């Protein structure tokens, strides 16, 4: 039988083409159909997260994978930004040159 000029064989859809892929860090919570998101502690920041393998584990509150992926993308961006800030705090860059403004600021009276 043809549907709109297409045979049933041509309409066969494989699982791989119908199932959305989980984004990085998105997992089904065990025993439920609710997705959660998690991100590992980067090795270079492990000392800031003692005794923790995960920097964050957060329920996404949905069983819809597409929605879970969208929510996870925001969390991923937020945590990458946080890790960047932590790295910059741990490795401050020296001033390239002393400007008159910086000299004035450093010479201000401290109470």
In the structure encoding, which two tokens stand for residue 101, read together? 């403004």
CB neighbour list of residue 90: distance below 8 Å, 6 or more residues apart: 45
Top pLDDT among 23 and 1 is at: 23
CA separation for the pair 91, 83 (Å, rounded): 12
76-91 pLDDT tens trace:
999 999 999 999 999 8
Which band of pLDDT confidence, cut at 50, 70 and 90, is reported for residue 13?
Answer: very low
Q: Compute the average pLDDT of residues 20-44.
A: 93
Whether 53 contacts 41, CB under 8 Å? yes
- Taking all residues of the chain, what is their mean pLDDT, rounded to a whole number? 84
- Above 50 in pLDDT, residue 14? no
Top pLDDT among 70 and 99 is at: 70
Angle at 21 between CA 15 and CA 22, to 5 degrees: 140
pTM of the predicted protein model: 0.65
């Amino acid at each position: 039988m043809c549907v709109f000029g297409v045979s049933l064989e041509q309409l066969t859809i494989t699982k791989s083409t119908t199932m959305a892929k989980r984004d990085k860090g998105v997992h089904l919570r065990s025993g439920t159909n609710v997705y959660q998101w998690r991100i590992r502690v980067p090795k270079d920041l492990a000392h800031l997260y003692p005794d923790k393998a995960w920097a964050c584990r957060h329920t996404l509150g949905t069983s819809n994978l597409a929605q879970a992926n969208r929510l996870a993308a925001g969390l991923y961006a937020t945590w990458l930004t946080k890790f960047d800030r932590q790295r910059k705090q741990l490795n401050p860059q020296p001033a390239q040159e002393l400007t008159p403004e910086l000299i004035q600021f450093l010479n201000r009276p401290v109470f």
